[in-house]
Amino acid sequence: MISMTKTVYIKTVGCQMNVLDSEMVIADLKRHGYTVVDTPGEADLLLYNTCSIREQAEEKTYSALGKLKDTKARHPEKTIGVMGCMAQKDQETIFRRAPFVDMVVGPGQLHAIPEMLTKVTSGEGRQMAVSLGRKDGKQTVVARSHETFDPLRDPTMRPTPFQAYLRIQIGCDKFCTYCVVPNTRGPEQGRSPEEIVSEARVLADQGALEITLLGQTVNSYRHRGPDGETDMAGLLEQLHEIESLKRIKFVTNYPKDMTARLLETIRDLPKVSPYLHVPAQSGSDSVLKRMKRGYTIADYMEMFERIETILPEASVSSDFIVGFCGETDEDFQKSVQLIERCRFKNSFIFQYSVREGTKAAANLIDDVPREVKAARNNELLAVQDRISKEDNQKLIGDTVEVLVEGPSKKADKSDLDAPIVQMTGRTICDRIVVFDGNRRQAGQLMDIQIDDVSCHTLIGRVKTVEVVSLGMPGLAPSS
């Protein structure tokens, strides 16, 4: 058993999956006597939960690790661990680039961290725990090595106490040519609906009003059990029955699996958010083919028009990669045209970077100059920001229901006694709203009247309701 006086610092980068992984790791470490601290200097154990989707994310991690070299030299008793997708992808490379690192742990082996710590502290040297590669055995064996379905949860590690992530699926079998996820997260597999609903009840009992279901292609969710197959629509129907849950969201979606049945289920279940994040990645069929995305723009538009028909109030967001191998000016303009047509709520736009181990790295040439990628990124972002602001302006004067998350980043956090601070929250369609309020409103569902907007934010005020006196003794009009 690990000492009962140890402290841990954890730095998390990347997607919601990584945020959830960190929560579960901390929950496990607390069971073994660790307490969380806010700075590396206070910590006996320093953990870096990493991302491999983009080169920039990896280089930031290696830069952060480089700054720990002197710390480790001065305090050799400190333990340094690298976990997550970069750990699974780079493995021994991490030890070569940062030889003072003590542990490398892939996302499918996080349950092994306490045992690895025991070995490190007892003098057994560096430790590594990673999942099998896609070709290292039968698919069922490889899949088991990537399972991370640990029910341990730690509410203190969440961005707010009222919102929680819930993994329903891991891995991916799409094998897009630019993406490392099928290798770092393993084969696609869905959890049993019984486990998911049980964990959702735990989250609700812990105070979560909103849960966000996570999966690499979350709407592709399938689980076959003794009682038959459960799809995403069926899972939503089961989760909707949890009384204390108020909102259910899910990310990220795959275009070809956005079925009419799923959209009708979202329409018919009031708690389910009509916010759909459906990455397009490009507006060009030739680029999509080189990406091996598995659909054409005609397929994407068929899906989009299905959303417009069945769920017209939905807000749809997207992802785009600019500067992918062979992307011409004409290809890029088709991405501009797609954003103009679909008028996404927002789009996450990235410049392509070569990822070692992908098909694109092996078979395609990264032939778009860096300055062209940057220019296309800025142009596409400007188009999206203009559309986002135009559509947000249509909401001025409307009243929206907001789940209040807490003080905004711009709020004066130093004055905790200030009666009025800028608060922030989100609508059920995932639009960010800020308003003047007080800290006690965190965790409440409130009606906010929208007075102004930016491309990313709605700006409003708490809607007040006038109460008219009926002439009863002691009852006066108020608002």
* CA neighbor of 185 nearest in space, from 227, 163, 211, 215: 215
* CA neighbor of 113 nearest in space, from 10, 37, 15: 10
Residue for token digits 């769920």? 311
Cα 48 from Cα 206, distance rounded (Å): 27
Asked if residue 247 lies in contact with residue 207, where contact means CB atoms within 8 angstroms, the answer is no
176 is in an annotated binding site: yes
Cα 71 from Cα 229, distance rounded (Å): 52
Report, in this order, helix, strand and coil percent for the chain, each rounded to 5: 35, 25, 40
Cα 421 from Cα 399, distance rounded (Å): 20
Cα 147 from Cα 108, distance rounded (Å): 5
Cα 182 from Cα 295, distance rounded (Å): 18
Residue for token digits 């028009």? 305
Kindly report the length of the chain. 479
Cα 223 from Cα 168, distance rounded (Å): 10
325 is in an annotated binding site: no
429 is in an annotated binding site: no
Contacts 24+ apart (CB under 8 A), 178-182: 178/291, 178/321, 178/324, 178/352, 178/355, 178/358, 178/360, 179/53, 179/355, 179/358, 180/52, 180/53, 180/85, 180/89, 180/355, 180/357, 180/358, 181/53, 181/85, 181/216, 182/134
Q: What is the CA radius of gyration of the chain?
A: 24
**β-pairing, 445-453 with 399-407?**
antiparallel
15 is in an annotated binding site: yes
H-assigned helices in 175-283: 181-184, 193-205, 232-239, 260-268
Distances in Å between the alpha carbon of 29 and those of 15, 36, 129? 22, 9, 17
Q: Which residues are annotated as a binding site for [4Fe-4S] cluster?
A: 15, 51, 85, 172, 176, 179
Q: Which residues are annotated as a binding site?
A: 15, 51, 85, 172, 176, 179
